Amino acid sequence: MMETTYENNVLTAYIKGEIDHDSATRIRSTVDAMAQSLRPQQLCLDFGGVSFMDSSGVGLVMGRYRQMKLLGGSLHIQNASDSVRRIFLMSGLQSLGVLK
């Protein structure tokens, strides 16, 4: 499940529940379509409502990072729990500068 807002050229996706292969595919489709349409300067993925995440979440972030670079924008991750943050850190995502 996910809700989105678009304000001041920032598209924010508030992700809730579990991120696995199926949910990551749905999130990816929705976020990609909105980013292509709105062309925001910044995409913010809010992980505050995420209760579980497997490696599909890392793929979700990497793909959105690439997409935003192609659109000339940036990606930021916010409100990641300690367990989600650990997965991001183990995957090396901190080197992209997207973690807040």
Q: Please say if the pLDDT value at position 100 is more than 80.
A: no
In the chain, the number of structural domains is 1
Amino acid, single-letter form, for residue 43: L
C-alpha closest to that of 77 among 3, 13, 6: 13
Range of the domain at 74: 2-96
Answer yes or no: are the C-beta atoms of 22 and 54 closer than 8 Å.
no
Answer yes or no: are the C-beta atoms of 99 and 80 closer than 8 Å.
yes
CATH of the domain at 67: 3.30.750.24
pTM here is 0.93
pLDDT band at 99 (very low <50, low <70, confident <90, very high): confident
For residue 96, what pLDDT is reported? 84
pLDDT band at 6 (very low <50, low <70, confident <90, very high): very high
How high is the mean pLDDT of the chain? Answer: 94
Mean pLDDT of 44-71: 95
